[in-house]
Amino acid sequence: MKLIGITGAIGSGKSTVALLLKEKSAIVIDADKVAREVVEPKKPAWKQIVDHFGEGILLPDGEINRRELGKRVFGHPEKLARLNEIIHPHAIAEIDRRVEQ
């Protein structure tokens, strides 16, 4: 098995390359999708984010209001760093689990 990582700026063609690889039977793990999954309601990362940033970042259904959270962290490097410190370990662990699968 070979593991390939695709990185690049917005609009650089990462999704196109991933689609081409998928068409060739590659298993694609989208880190952005994983990062969204690990912050779903009641998951450990979700709880840590709510504990740190408060319930004011939640939508009525319990989902994180990404726009509200963004307002609180963008332009505030220390808050953005804290958010990344919460999400990244969970996302990396889930990616590692999927690779092992």
C-alpha neighbours within 13 Å on the C-beta side of residue 15: 4
Is pLDDT of 2 > 90?
A: no
Is pLDDT of 54 > 80?
A: yes
CA distance 82 to 63: 19
Q: What is the pLDDT of residues 5-51, one digit of tens each?
A: 999 999 999 999 999 999 999 999 999 999 999 999 999 999 999 99
- Burial of residue 14 (CB within 10 Å: 0-12, 13-18, 19+) is middle
C-alpha neighbours within 13 Å on the C-beta side of residue 43: 17
Query: What is the predicted pLDDT for the residue at 63?
Result: 97
Q: What is the pLDDT of residues 62-78, one digit of tens each?
A: 999 999 999 999 999 99
CA distance 53 to 84: 13
CATH 3.40.50.2300 given to domain 30-100: no
Is pLDDT of 1 > 80?
A: no
Q: 71 or 2, which is more confident? A: 71
85 falls in which pLDDT band (50, 70, 90)? very high
Tell me the whole-structure pTM to 2 decimals. Answer: 0.85
